[in-house]
Structure 1
């Protein structure tokens, strides 16, 4: 019987793609059911980027895509080590609603957003600017959290993320 190498490659590629798609669904933090135990979460998602102790004796497992990715998922566990809620913090509505200018500190930013994609200083602000990447309606954006020398949030700004144009030029 004659074999078709291209068909065989296509079949293998299709099976591999389907397997990867299913695997990526199982590793999506937003799909972990409330009540799931910490050990099961870490088996499914891997080690978190950061682990924080919450005031209610709970624990926050933080899964961050920063600096390259555009997400930060916070999975809050109760004192019993089971998932209470999952929240995606890299959302413009979440950022505008929750970050409190003049009240949040460096610790609040770390607890909720994790490590930034970039830390920089500019001449027009006395302090550090922590930059996080996120998407807004599928457009790459950046959130800039300005922290004064005492570590207090003084400003929150949003900019479009500059991405190199990969499309060939159009000569109309």
Structure 2
């Protein structure tokens, strides 16, 4: 069973993105993670940014993840050391980060979630047996998407980058 609902069509995708943006805006926009200083304790991080959208164990600490998906274009990973203080902060929705780190045939669904969080969109395409997880990001101020093709065994098999469809794009033909 799929952990995320499957949608089809650009119209539904845009509605999901718009709904996510509205929810994100109404909940206070999460604060500004990029301004948290190294060494900041977890209690201060959460007081400033709120509860993380996800949390993952690391070999030497914990990862607090603050995702702005599906409406936004950033995912912030705040890695805490064993004592619960910020060791590293990274915004991973960046073309260079994505190209350098995503490892087809080696990354699993768990790696994707730990590094990128929940996708903005989950779809299926006829040319691939599995789900396509899509994330939004900016490249040189242009809206883009990265699509991770994850097979039924949970392994990333393909990574594709596309321009993000806009409301001005012509409708799909069936």
For residues 11-90 of structure 1, what are the structure 2 equivalents within 5 Å?
A: 27-56=31-60, 58-90=61-93
1:155 aligns with 2:151: no
Number of residues of Structure 1 aligned to a counterpart in Structure 2: 142
**Structure 1 residue 162, shift from structure 2 partner:** 1.1
Tell me which structure has the larger Cα radius of gyration. 1
TM-score, with length taken from structure 2: 0.79
Taking the aligned partners of 2:97 and 2:164, their CA distance within structure 1 comes to: 19
Point out where structure 2 has 5 or more consecutive residues left out of the alignment: 1-27, 169-174
Runs of 4+ in 1 over 3 A off after TM superposition: none
Point out where structure 1 has 5 or more consecutive residues left out of the alignment: 1-22, 166-172
**Structure 1 residue 30, shift from structure 2 partner:** 1.0
For residues 116-155 of structure 1, what are the structure 2 equivalents within 5 Å?
A: 116-155=119-158
**Structure 1 residue 27, shift from structure 2 partner:** 2.4
Q: Which has the higher contact order (CA 8 A, sep 6+)?
A: 2
Partner of 1:19: none
TM-score, with length taken from structure 1: 0.80
